[in-house]
Amino acid sequence: MHDVVLVDTIESYCGAGGGAIDEDTVLGAGSWDAALAAAGAGPEVVERLRAGEADAAFVAVRPPGHHAGHRRPMGFCVFNNVALTAADLAASGERVLIVDIDAHHGNGTQEIFYSDPRVAYLSLHEWPLYPGTGWLDERGEGEGEGTTVDIPLPRGATGDVYLRAVEQVVEPLATRFRPTWMLISAGFDAHVADPLTHLSLSSGDYAQLVSALVPLVPTGRVVAMLEGGYDLAALRTCTAATVDALLGVRHHPEPPTSGGPGREMVETVRRLQG
């Protein structure tokens, strides 16, 4: 997972008071405890789901994680919370499907599992956009070839494009891969109001998207983990819609959207996947 040198460096850096570790990511004295809590939350939730305490889970933690790779924290991310949870599940014999719906590509998650056949990674993200990864030819390597699927979408993509991607790409991937668990990197920065991105989703779209994803694995085997989202009002409504969708409750704070670009890209990815 993460290189021990990275872990030791973060601990020492925070212990010394923190500071900037890249152009986007700043640590403080309390960041070590926060990052540890975020990293450990996923495995803890998995154990509670296995014990039958709930049918699904939403993990609301900060800092987010999907940009953090083996040796490098970046993009507001320190440790890769979703990847740590997936690695823990895979080590116990599970097959894990990670669906990343953050507007930014989860380069760290992809890097960690790029050659791992036990974990499939699929990302829906804006292109071009930070961090500049996530194009069609990034499909995994070695034993993991074919278990990485990137769907780079143009500015203005709407909720109907995401639902089409679930039907034409995600569902067939799940049929082939047969996951026993799904982890959702639930970034809400694809909302139309987000100041850092240019996609056009609404909170109603997130409700529909999560509702379409949940049936792809058995009940009690879905964990959504908070990633990005930088408009506070949108973050609030999207979170509420997502949690209700995990509970099987229909809650659309805003109407779903349609008519934006991106269908051609979904069709291209569908053809590539065979």
Catalytic residues: 67
Helix (H) or strand (E) holding 136: none
β-strands 57-59, 148-153 pairing: unpaired
Whole-angstrom distance, CA of residue 98 vs CA of residue 81: 12
- Closest by CA to 59, choosing from 227, 191, 228, 248, is 227
Q: How far is CA 212 from CA 160, 178, 181, 246, 268, in A?
A: 12, 16, 15, 10, 21
CB atoms within 10 A of CB 44: 12
Whole-angstrom distance, CA of residue 162 vs CA of residue 245: 16
Contact yes or no for 223/45 (Cβ under 8 A): yes
Q: Which long-range contacts (CB under 8 A, 24 or more apart) does 45-51 make?
A: 45/85, 45/223, 46/85, 46/88, 46/89, 46/181, 46/223, 49/220, 49/221, 49/223, 50/220
DSSP-assigned letter for residue 259: -
Token pair belonging to 256: 């779903």
Burial group, residue 125, by CB count within 10 angstroms (0-12, 13-18, 19+): buried
Q: How far is CA 158 from CA 63, 75, 192, 259, in A?
A: 27, 24, 9, 7
Question: Helices 81-91 and 31-50, interaxial angle, to 10°?
Answer: 40
